[in-house]
Chains A and B, each alone.
Chain A
Amino acid sequence: MSQRAVLSIDHLSISFGGLKALDDLSFTIFDQEIFGLIGPNGAGKTTVFNCVTQFYRPDAGDVFLTVDQSRLPSRDRHLADQLGQARLNLVGRPVHSIIKLGLARTFQNVEVVKELSLLDNVLVGGHVDFQATMAEQIFRLPRARREEKVYRAKAMAALDFLGIGRLADQLAGGQPYGVLKKLEMARTLMAQPRLIILDEPAAGLNDFETEDLAQTIRAIRDQYGCAVWLVEHDMRLVMNVCERICAISFGKFLALGAPAEIQGDKLVQEAYLGEQE
């Protein structure tokens, strides 16, 4: 595993109505690693996420993402180093510009379009890659048709990879929860991200599905060569699949290390006392 950082969170703070939700939080996620963020309820896990993806604007601190040259916005081109990569600060960028830089996410509550087929839902994940202009799409000009074909194949591959390819033409509405979770992951794969954030992927899954999820996460990392960051409640999944784990409590950093180290950490144990799973 390379030790190059893909995402660095740097002294991040945010408060809501005087309550500090995140307090000077820093950690780094490396390329192609499976990273876990844990903490008791209300620790601010999802807030970290939302600060990274710019749904919330942090009060202080920075979020640096390593971005490939091909994905750099034109005004940031000059920042690329000799490897053709650049570390961009995400803070202040529009929410919809984040996925383009190589960071894709799923949602705690599964946000898919019920009225669209699974395949169409996955295609939404490739939104930023579509080059055809609105006019080209409206009149179905050659470039629009070509792209549709290419990305359909790619979306199909993502669905197949996650084992739900046979459902491609069915509507997302009414599918079992496990399928929808996989659908969301397939959608993130469409963006060919360097980092995928999974927001409580095990929530609502049974033991069998959770076991399957662990395998899926590893397969995604191996096949698509991206880092995976889990924000998770299910300790077994985190301990099973993550290579490094960061624990936080009340928005503050507690510990960072391999699963065994975290399990043995005094502070972490204290934080979880009283809230046994």
Chain B
Amino acid sequence: MSTSSTRTARPLSSVLKPARNAHVQFLVFGALLCLLPVLAQAGGLRNSTLSTLAFVLIYAIVALGLNLLLGYSGLISLGTAGFVGLGAYLAAYFQDDLRLGFWLALLAALVLPTLIGLLVGVVSLRVRSIYLAIASLCISEILLKTFEQLEWFTRGTAGKQSKYPVVFGLQTDRATMFVIIVIALVVVMMVTHNTVHGQLGRALHTMRSSEVAAQAMGVNVLKYKLFAFSLATLYAGLGGALYLFFLRSSYPSTWNLFMSLNIIAMVVVGGLRSIFGTVAGAFVIFAVPELVLKKLPVIGDVAGLPYIFSGVLIVVVIMFFPAGLKGLADLVRRPFQRLRGDRGEAGPPAARPPDSDRPSPPGAGRAAADQTAVKEGRPA
């Protein structure tokens, strides 16, 4: 077959460029965020707003883990809050009770939740993916009770108090902790980007799309599901430690199911499989109720409003805008790209949002329908 004539020149040196570009974007994003504490000190930003934004970034870290799980692997976890809480209490216990310092406290908050996550995964991921949701809910209930009852570890409902950590001999405060959170977020964004853009990410993609195809391609499905879930719990533990170091207290009631659901909302609203989208989702779900809704006249006082806000957004986004904020951004960007002449002769760029309604040939449609039937694997 003589097909070499159709071959387009593709310099292979450009292969790694996208990765570098993305990393530069993350770094610039982080640098801009680091200006916020400076702005706050100059009086241009309220300290309470800075705190709200810090929590947005912490939740963004946790949500990025869940996006790996939900977006790339198609798995649901309902135990996120439990793992974040565990990270927070471990950080406090290691820093304040055992006096082992910032780094060991951070390490403990990363390692132990991940190990528990691995155990839960091994137990639940062998049957159906949905079992992970129930098993993680199970472990989250157990953890919540532990936070309430294990007084020597958590001080129970009275709440665990902590203080700003000393990092590299430097006593941190609100502003420096904010910078540390930003650094952590940028690292997590880079790691996530690397994970999803290499062979790992392709394996996760294939697994979500069709487990049988993934297996036929040599992907050990259980191993990759476990990988995604443990990375998600690792991020959750990190988020918990940062939460504690920033807020300097933790109460059991924080780590309930609704925090887990809010994290899911962040991922869905931000856009599955989008890194910046997840950060934006964290902002919408956490900061908008905090900064905007609560200040509205009349309805601002309604207690259940943030719940309704998150819940309705989940439903509406999945129903009408499955690509989330990321899809919105693409939609806005596309005309500009066209102006710049970014379109290759071969058609629309690969960044086309998955919800685009381009008509596909009947054959492909049928194949897609068949795939779903297979994927859902009804009992024989």
Contact code string B353-368 (vs A, CB < 8 Å = 1, else 0): 0101010110110111
Query: Given the complex of chains A and B, what is the CA–CA distance between A176 and B371 in angstroms?
Result: 16
**CB of A256 within 8 Å of the partner chain:** no
B-facing residues in A138-188 (Cβ within 8 Å): 138-140, 144-145, 147-149, 151-153, 156, 160-163, 165-171, 173-177, 180, 187
Given known pairs A127-B218, A161-B3, A176-B364, the reply for A140 and B374 (CB within 8 Å) is no
The CA of A95 and the CA of B210, in the complex, are separated in Å by 14
Bound CA span A130–B224, Å: 14
Cα of A64 to Cα of B4 in the assembled complex, Å: 37
CB pair A180–B198 under 8 Å, yes or no, is no
Q: Given the complex, which residues of A lie within 8 Å of B227, measured CB to CB?
A: 134
How many angstroms between the C-alpha atoms of A109 and B87 in the bound complex? Answer: 44
Pair A148/B198 contact, Cβ less than 8 Å? yes
Q: A139-B194, A140-B194 are in contact. Are A98 and B205 (CB under 8 A)?
A: no
Q: Mark A99-132, 1 if CB is under 8 A from B, else 0.
A: 1100011011111111111001001111110101
Contacts of B361 in A (CB 8 A): 176-177
Check A99–B205 contact: CB distance below 8 A: no
A118 to chain B, nearest CB (A): 9
Residues in A neighbouring B292, C-beta threshold 8 A = none
**A174 to B357 Cα, complex, angstroms:** 9
Of B1, B195, B368, the contact of A215 (CB 8 Å cutoff): B1
Inter-subunit contact A95/B16 (CB<8 Å):
no
Q: How far is the CB of B334 from chain A (nearest CB, A)?
A: 15
Q: How far is the CB of A162 from chain B (nearest CB, A)?
A: 7
Q: Determine if B199 is an interface residue (Cβ-Cβ < 8 Å).
A: yes
Interface size on A, residues (CB 8 A): 69
Please, which residues of chain A bring their CB within 8 A of the CB of B195? 137-138
Pick from B4, B208, B216: contact of A160, CB below 8 A.
B4
- A120 partner, pick from B202, B273, B360, B380, beta carbons under 8 A: B202
Per-residue contact bits, chain B 207-239, to A (CB 8 Å; 1 contact, 0 not): 011101111111111000001000000000000
In the complex, the answer to whether A95 meets B215 with C-beta atoms within 8 Å is yes
A203 to B238, CA, bound (A): 50
Is B194 in contact with A137, judged by CB distance below 8 angstroms?
Answer: yes
- Chain B residues in 8 Å Cβ range of A215: 1
Q: Which residue of B lies closest to A105 (CB)?
A: B216
Nearest Cβ in chain B — how far from A79, in angstroms?
21
How far, in Å, is A115 (CB) from chain B's closest CB? 5
Q: Which residues of A contact B363 (CB under 8 A)?
A: 176-177, 204
Known A96-B221, A98-B216, A110-B367; judge A124-B206 contact (CB<8 A): yes
Identify which of B12, B202, B346, B356 contacts A166 (C-beta below 8 A): B346
Given the known interface contacts A123-B202, A127-B203, the answer about A96 and B215 at a Cβ–Cβ threshold of 8 Å is yes
Pair A167/B352 contact, Cβ less than 8 Å: no
* Nearest B-chain residue to A218, judged by Cβ: B1
Interface string of A77-105 (1 = CB under 8 A from B): 00000000000000000111111100011
For B, the interface residue count at a CB cutoff of 8 angstroms equals 57
Q: Across the interface, do A162 and B3 meet the contact criterion of CB distance under 8 Å?
A: yes
A253 to B177, CA, bound (A): 73
Q: Which of B6, B273, B364 lies in contact with A163, CB distance below 8 A? A: B6
Instruction: Tell me whether A160 and B200 are in contact (CB under 8 A).
Output: no
Inter-subunit contact A115/B346 (CB<8 Å): no
Cα–Cα distance between A162 and B227 once the two chains are bound (Å): 34
Is residue B296 within 8 Å, beta carbon to beta carbon, of the partner chain? Answer: no
B213 to chain A, nearest CB (A): 3
Q: Which residues of A contact B16 (CB under 8 A)?
A: 145, 148-149
B378 sits at the interface (CB 8 A): no
Contact of A174 among B6, B200, B360 (CB under 8 A): B360
The reply to whether A169 and B350 form a contact with Cβ atoms under 8 Å apart is yes
Chain B residue nearest in CB terms to A212: B1
Given contacts A107-B212, A165-B7, contact A96 B218 (CB under 8 A): yes
Contacts of A176 in B (CB 8 A): 361, 363-364
A16, A55, A173 pick with most chain B CB within 10 angstroms: A173
B205 touching A219, Cβ below 8 Å: no
Q: Is A249 in contact with chain B by the CB < 8 A criterion?
A: no
Provide the bound-state CA to CA distance between A98 and B354, in Å. Answer: 32
**Any A CB within 8 A of the CB of B376:** no
User: What would 23 A/B residue contacts be, using CB atoms closer than 8 Å?
Assistant: A55-B212, A95-B215, A99-B216, A104-B216, A107-B213, A109-B370, A109-B371, A111-B216, A114-B209, A115-B273, A123-B199, A138-B194, A145-B16, A148-B199, A149-B15, A160-B3, A166-B8, A169-B344, A169-B350, A170-B346, A170-B347, A175-B360, A191-B217
Interface residues of A (CB under 8 A from B): 16, 53, 55, 94-100, 104-105, 107-117, 120, 123-128, 130, 132, 134, 137-140, 144-145, 147-149, 151-153, 156, 160-163, 165-171, 173-177, 180, 187, 191, 204, 215-216, 219
A-B pairs, top 7 by smallest CB distance, nearest first, are A177-B363, A111-B213, A128-B218, A109-B370, A163-B3, A95-B215, A99-B218
| Interface positions of B (Cβ within 8 A of A) | 1, 3-4, 6-8, 10, 12, 15-16, 19, 191, 194-195, 198-200, 202-203, 205-206, 208-210, 212-221, 227, 273, 344, 346-350, 352, 354, 356, 358, 360-361, 363-364, 366-368, 370-371, 374, 380
**Besides A95-B216, A177-B363, 18 other CB < 8 A contacts?**
A107-B216, A110-B367, A111-B210, A111-B371, A113-B208, A115-B205, A127-B217, A163-B3, A166-B8, A167-B346, A169-B344, A169-B349, A170-B350, A174-B358, A174-B360, A180-B364, A204-B363, A219-B1
